[in-house]
Amino acid sequence: MQTVVFTEAFFFLCLIMSYIYLAYSTGFEPHDLSKLDIGTSGIYTALLIISSFTLHLAERGYDRGNTRALKAWLIITLILGAIFLIGQGREYAHLIQEKITLESSVFGASFFTLTGFHGLHVFIGLIILSIMLVLAFLGDFNRPAPAGSESPGGPPPGGGALGAIAIYWHFVDIVWVVVFTVVYVLPQFTNI
């Protein structure tokens, strides 16, 4: 999992640096930037951050052998992630109505590329979390851990696959905090 996170971190670093370079070298049009809704996007950002906490609670439920808590917190995590994606889709629709598209400007191309790849990663995370939820309902998390993998006092922390997806999900959330800061917050204080 560390290799995946490292390569994805490098990928997003390149996208973010490209966005910053284009913002300062070509100068985004102020009217393009003014179409971004920092308030609404901030709410969706908060929901995505909360989803990291709910996934952590799902892991804790599993660690304690409480599959009911595992399932409930996974459902809440999925809902929060889906709301975030719906919010991103609504912003895309608004920007397209305002004639900001991939082809319309450097800002449009860089904005949709950066946020679109992040949205794709959230979508992939939601698919994997959905698979975890189905497995939880099928009873896969009720079974004892394989011999030799047990930690004293219970199953392995986060349980193999659940722990791996949690690392991925937390990473995607951290990336969004950086993207939100660069795309929405910093332009409020700088002259791009």
**CATH code for position 89:** 1.20.120.80
Closest alpha carbon to 32 in 86, 89, 109: 109
Separation CA 181–CA 15 (nearest Å): 14
Q: Is residue 20 part of a domain?
A: no
Q: Is residue 6 part of a domain?
A: no
Task: Write out pLDDT tens, residues 76-112.
Answer: 999 999 999 999 999 999 999 999 998 988 999 999 9
| Number of domains observed in the structure of the chain | 1
Q: Among 21-25, 48-52, 180-184, whose mean pLDDT is lowest?
A: 21-25
pLDDT at 139: 87
Q: Is residue 1 part of a domain?
A: no
Q: Is residue 12 part of a domain?
A: no
Task: Write out pLDDT tens, residues 48-71.
Answer: 999 999 999 999 999 888 999 999
Q: Is residue 160 part of a domain?
A: yes
Domain span including residue 65: 38-188
Q: What is the mean pLDDT of the chain?
A: 88
Burial classification of residue 138, based on how many CB atoms lie within 10 Å of its CB (0-12 exposed, 13-18 middle, 19 or more buried) = exposed
Q: Is residue 145 part of a domain?
A: yes
- Non-local CB neighbours of 109 within 8 Å, separated by 6+ positions: 102, 103
**Residue 155, pLDDT above cutoff 60:** no
What pTM did the predictor assign?
A: 0.86
